[in-house]
């Protein structure tokens, strides 16, 4: 009897989760965004007031383009957005946006030139995530490598006072990473959007008020 009740509870939980995912998936299609992840950025923006008209934004891990589209909309036609991802996308972007097929770990001269000509940036976004293996510690380590590289890029491309948003999967090194951010930003906040799956280990760290590298502070 107990086993049957437990099975029913698990089945009901799976149904609720499927409906939850379908809600954001359908909403994204209705709002003309290629992925549901846009609502995470909207929540982040609402909570921390990240974007202003005329800003320049770098979006790492941009494909399929939802965050890039939202950023381009928020900064307006006088703002600029540079998106980059190792995966390509067929999303159509506004005139204030450039998307580049790029590996953040092996940045091409063309991309470095784009960073120099488009930046410095008011905001650097990173929604990068590794291909999962199913092995918890391997996936966490790969995710942290992406976070560290995103922070390294932010450190050399952000304006003083700029913001940095990065997706982090909770693990043994995430608190160390957060402490490293605190040395570089005036404020560092942790945020889990309601549109994230409840069982997901993802969190977002938001660094506000970039102070520069230690020798520049």
* 85 in a known ligand binding site: yes
* 174 in a known ligand binding site: no
* 127 in a known ligand binding site: yes
- By CB atoms closer than 10 A (0-12, 13-18, 19+), residue 115 is buried
Spatial distance between the Cα atoms of 100 and 119, rounded to a whole number of angstroms: 15
Given the residues 52, 167, 194, 201, select the one marked as catalytic: 167
Which tokens is 10 given?
């698990």
Residue 43, C-beta contacts closer than 8 angstroms, at least 6 positions apart: 191, 193, 194, 195
Q: Is 167 a catalytic residue?
A: yes
* 209 in a known ligand binding site: no
* 59 in a known ligand binding site: no
Which tokens is 167 given?
């997706």
Q: Which residues are annotated as a binding site?
A: 65, 67, 85, 103, 127
| Active site (catalytic) residues | 167
Q: Which residues are annotated as a binding site for S-adenosyl-L-methionine?
A: 65, 67, 85, 103, 127
């Amino acid at each position: 009897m107990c086993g049957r009740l437990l099975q029913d509870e698990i089945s009901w939980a799976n149904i609720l989760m499927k409906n939850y995912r379908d809600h954001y998936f359908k909403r994204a299609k209705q709002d003309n965004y290629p992925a549901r992840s846009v609502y995470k950025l909207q929540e982040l923006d609402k909570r921390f007031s990240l974007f202003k008209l005329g800003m320049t934004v770098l979006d790492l891990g941009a494909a399929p383009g939802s965050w890039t589209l939202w950023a381009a909309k928020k900064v307006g036609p006088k703002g600029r957005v540079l998106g980059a991802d190792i995966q390509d996308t067929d999303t159509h972007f506004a005139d204030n946006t450039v998307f580049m097929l790029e590996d953040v770990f092996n940045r091409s001269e063309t991309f470095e030139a784009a960073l120099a000509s488009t930046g410095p940036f008011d905001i650097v976004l990173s929604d990068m995530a590794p291909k999962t293996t199913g092995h918890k510690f391997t996936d966490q380590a790969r995710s942290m490598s992406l976070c560290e590289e995103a922070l390294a890029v932010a450190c050399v491309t952000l304006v003083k006072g700029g913001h940095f948003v990065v997706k982090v999967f909770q693990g043994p090194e995430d608190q160390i990473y957060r402490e490293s951010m605190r040395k570089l930003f005036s404020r560092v906040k942790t945020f889990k959007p309601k549109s994230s799956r409840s069982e997901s280990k993802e969190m977002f760290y938001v660094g506000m008020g970039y102070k520069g590298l230690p020798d520049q502070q």
